[in-house]
């Protein structure tokens, strides 16, 4: 799951930030979906945004 940690760290301002003009729930959901797509491209077992969030601890 190193890629999960790496991608969350790269995007922590968006994923963990307070909502505002640039940080919206829709933007956060979209970024989680991008992270899931990157993870699923690397592994046989498919993940969801919820499972990735739980693995990271958010």
Reported as a single tens digit per residue, the pLDDT across 2-54 is: 888 899 999 999 999 998 888 999 999 999 999 989 988 887 677 778 887 78
Give me Rg for the CA atoms of the chain. 11
Whether the Cβ atoms of residue 49 and residue 36 lie closer than 8 Å to each other: yes
Handedness of CA 1, 39, 48, 52 (dihedral sign): positive
Task: Tell me the C-alpha distance between 4 and 10, whole Å.
Answer: 10
Q: Distance (Å, rounded) from C-alpha 55 to C-alpha 58?
A: 8
pTM of the shown model: 0.71
């Amino acid at each position: 799951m190193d890629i999960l940690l790496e991608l969350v760290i790269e995007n922590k301002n968006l994923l963990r930030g307070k909502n505002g003009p640039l940080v919206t729930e829709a933007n956060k959901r979209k970024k989680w979906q991008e992270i899931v797509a990157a993870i699923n491209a690397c592994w046989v077992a498919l993940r969801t945004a919820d499972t990735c969030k739980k693995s990271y601890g958010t």
